[in-house]
Amino acid sequence: MPNVAGVVRPDRERDPLAGLDPEQRAAAGAPRGPVCVLAGAGTGKTRTITHRIAHLVRAGHVSANQVLAVTFTARAAGELRDRLRRLGVEGAQARTFHAAALRQLRYFWPRVVGDTPWELLDHKIRLVGRAAATLDLPTEVEVVRDLAGEIEWAKASLVGPEDYPAVAARRGRDVGHPAEKVAELYRTYERAKNDRRLLDFDDLLLHTTAAVEEHRSVADEFRERYRCFVVDEYQDVTPAQQRLLDAWLGGRDDVTVVGDANQTIYSFGGASPRPLLDFTRRYPDATVVRLERDYRSSPQVVALANRVIGAARGRPAGSRLTLVGQRPDGPEPAFSEHPDEEAEAAAVAARVDELIGAGTDAGEIAVLFRVNAQSEAYEKALSERDVPYVVRGGERFFARTEIRRAMAALRTAAARPEEGSAPASGAGEGDGLVRVVREVLSREGLTARAPSGGAARERWNGLRALLDLAEDLAATSDNATLARYVAELEQRASAQHPPEVGGVTLASLHAAKGLEWDAVFLVGLADGTVPIQHADTDEAIEEERRLFYVGVTRAREHLSLSWSLARTPGRRAHRRRSRFLQGLVPDDHPASRVRGRRGGGAPKPVCRVCGAPLLSTMDVKLGRCGRCPADVDTDLLARLQEWRRERARELNVPPFVVFTDATLSAIAEQRPTDESALVSIAGIGATKVERFGGEVLAVVRSSPDQGDTSVGR
């Protein structure tokens, strides 16, 4: 394993603890040993760990090259690397779990396996499809994708084919095929993969873990090399990743974890916030810090975020804290409803254009959606307005022809001794680097001014991003040579971490985790998209809610939330806005007006989720139509029933005289927080409120997940 000497630039930043608030400082400045930061979005978790690394290195507790920081997406790992470099820490590893495992496996493989070569299997769909065909399972792409996802879940959960049927039954997994059959598919796929000497992404974790666990010399060398571990976004750790982390630690406890259980968005893939929430049980001496100050977003965005997550249920919700916005006031979040997706995209593009015109940098704007297929409408609408954009998630930057050519040219230049080595100091090695890179790139088509629009503009943006990276390196690093720059490019290419390409970011909500922009557009917020159609259990809906929360909390200042009623122009407007917007869209918003109410007379009761008229008495009581999914808090319902039983006994009346079943269900579903919310529930009049209101509200408020958490001191 290459042993890059760790370098700290003392001039880069004063004391790394100086730019932190007291709680952040407590975590960052804690002595070596277990540290857990459990906090909401934008509270500075990532900032805390980067400053902690800088502090430990600066204070001489550990050398930078003994630090391994891991996270979950290539983008987030890149963000960690960038922030560390800005703090003057060089040589610390910041990678995704998979990238770290890949690197270690390549290094240790000859020792543990010998010279049998292997290759990485990028996508398992084809191999799973072939295995499905031999087992008479359907081979349509959607089915195979689901089955491949299930195999991934099993591997991430450390469940082998033999155990799969039992575990799948216990966990209520259902992919529409008998578990025995799925297990057979899993076994067949594994065999086919091994026969071809292929490793899939899940294998990287499993094999690396095995290498460290089972080979003493590997473990010794690894543990000598890495001594300090940091995990960002720890709420999304899978059992396979946790096992690898444990193997790395080998019983040591120099581990800092940070996360937010309310941002758990990969449970469907086997991730669980449990290790985060149970951290102190495992390390009773851990330093635990909770952060509440939100440094990222305006108070208006923070208020909305608090309301979104305030509606969450389940164990992760137990760890939530109310965020307190620290930034100056900003505009209220904007809500808009559109007839169809095209109109929505056009309106968003127009608003983006307006923001850019008013001085917001295009790179500080993001359009976030639930599924990648939604991207296209926005690519089109932004192109029509000549607004540059970058699509995240695909990360195909380094595969682009002009980038490959430019890199080849830069590599050639770096190989020439007079350009590749470090220029003398003084006039600035960085200046020298930027000059050489500009010369090389101008031969590849980088002009001083950007061409307008289309493919030429996109090519130009790519080359310009390479030059920006050189400027960035020159400004932040001591030895900014061309060779060093090319090495950085190679590293980014292998980590799929493209440089910032000036333009509006188009990304999925999943890919946006950990990132932030001045202006964020959350689009396509219709039921069936957010939450996604196939989220059909309470847990799945909660995960979708957390994903929505991740989206809301990406915005610093401008936040726009929009949805459309039909997919394409002229189609029937059968969509409804996302149920997560319930209670968020202001009452005086045009989209909040009761649809279909005409003329005078008493307002007809309508579904509070979709706005459709309510016809049956039960629906009227619940305040929602039968087509909209129930959102009853079953624990609360049980407690309400218990309360009603006791009250009825005291009053010596049948329970329904206190409240009917339908009314109790409606309370458990709507969770009123004050008397006005209570009285708005059908079946509860002024008399009932007067007699029972206080008690009912107390039962609602006593919800155990307000205080259910095992972390904290």
| Site residue total, ligand ATP (CB under 6 A) | 19
Region from 38-46, 164-172, 433-441, 594-602 binding Mg ion, contact rule CB under 5 A: 38-46
- As a whole number of angstroms, the distance between CA 64 and CA 602 comes to 70
Which of 20, 27, 237, 245 binds ligand ATP (CB under 6 A)? It is 20
What is the dihedral angle through the alpha carbons of 550, 565, 391, 273, rounded to the nearest 10 degrees?
20
Q: What are phi and psi of 269, to 5 degrees?
A: -95, 10
Nearer of residues 46 and 553 to Mg ion, judged by Cβ: 46
How far is C-alpha 363 from the geometric centre of its chain's CA atoms? 19
Q: What is the CA radius of gyration of the chain?
A: 28
- As a whole number of angstroms, the distance between CA 333 and CA 205 comes to 41
Is residue 46 within the footprint of Mg ion (CB under 5 A)?
A: yes
**Minimum gap (Å) between residue 45 Cβ and Mg ion:** 5
Is residue 21 within the footprint of ligand ATP (CB under 6 A)?
A: yes
The item of ligand ATP, Mg ion, none sharing an interface with residue 273, based on CB under 5 to 8 Å by kind, is none
**Minimum gap (Å) between residue 497 Cβ and ligand ATP:** 17
Q: Which amino acid is at 293?
A: R
**Minimum gap (Å) between residue 709 Cβ and ligand ATP:** 17
Is residue 45 within the footprint of ligand ATP (CB under 6 A)?
A: yes
CB 338 within 8 A of CB 590: no
Q: Quick one: tokens of 409?
A: 């040219």
65: left (phi over 0), alpha (psi -120 to 50) or beta: alpha
The item of ligand ATP, Mg ion, none sharing an interface with residue 260, based on CB under 5 to 8 Å by kind, is ligand ATP
Is residue 24 within the footprint of ligand ATP (CB under 6 A)?
A: yes
Is residue 42 within the footprint of ligand ATP (CB under 6 A)?
A: yes
**Minimum gap (Å) between residue 27 Cβ and ligand ATP:** 11
**Minimum gap (Å) between residue 313 Cβ and Mg ion:** 24
Q: Quick one: tokens of 16?
A: 């790394």
- As a whole number of angstroms, the distance between CA 673 and CA 277 comes to 27
Is residue 71 within the footprint of ligand ATP (CB under 6 A)?
A: no
Residue 199, beta-bridge partner list? 120
**Minimum gap (Å) between residue 279 Cβ and Mg ion:** 17
The item of ligand ATP, Mg ion, none sharing an interface with residue 43, based on CB under 5 to 8 Å by kind, is ligand ATP
Is residue 16 within the footprint of ligand ATP (CB under 6 A)?
A: no
Q: Quick one: tokens of 70?
A: 């891991």
Is residue 44 within the footprint of Mg ion (CB under 5 A)?
A: no
Is residue 47 within the footprint of ligand ATP (CB under 6 A)?
A: yes
Which of 129, 275, 333, 514 binds ligand ATP (CB under 6 A)? It is 514
Binding-site string for ligand ATP from residue 536 to residue 555, where x marks contact by CB under 6 A and - marks none:
-----------------x--
Which of 16, 29, 34, 44 binds ligand ATP (CB under 6 A)? It is 44
Is residue 238 within the footprint of Mg ion (CB under 5 A)?
A: no
DSSP string, 648-659: HHHHTS-HHHH-
Closest CA to 442 of 418, 460, 429: 460
Binding-site string for Mg ion from residue 319 to residue 338, where x marks contact by CB under 5 A and - marks none:
--------------------
HSE-CB at 136 with a 13 A cutoff on CA atoms is 2
**Minimum gap (Å) between residue 73 Cβ and Mg ion:** 11
Is residue 260 within the footprint of ligand ATP (CB under 6 A)?
A: yes
Which of 514, 524, 551, 672 binds Mg ion (CB under 5 A)? It is 514
Closest CA to 555 of 359, 360, 310: 360
Helix 454-476 to helix 401-415 angle (10° resolution) is 40
User: Within 10 Å of residue 451's Cβ, how many Cβ atoms?
Assistant: 14
Region from 20-28, 573-581, 620-628, 698-706 binding ligand ATP, contact rule CB under 6 A: 20-28
Q: What are phi and psi of 175, to 5 degrees?
A: -110, 20
Q: What residue spans of 538-659 are helical by DSSP H?
A: 538-552, 617-622, 634-651, 655-658
Is residue 295 within the footprint of ligand ATP (CB under 6 A)?
A: yes
| Angle formed at CA 666 by CA 661 and CA 670, multiple of 5 degrees | 155
Is residue 41 within the footprint of ligand ATP (CB under 6 A)?
A: yes
Is residue 24 within the footprint of Mg ion (CB under 5 A)?
A: no
- As a whole number of angstroms, the distance between CA 109 and CA 289 comes to 39
Residues of this chain that bind ligand ATP (CB under 6 A): 19-21, 24, 39, 41-47, 260, 263, 295-296, 514, 516, 553
| Chain residues in the site for Mg ion (CB under 5 A) | 45-46, 514
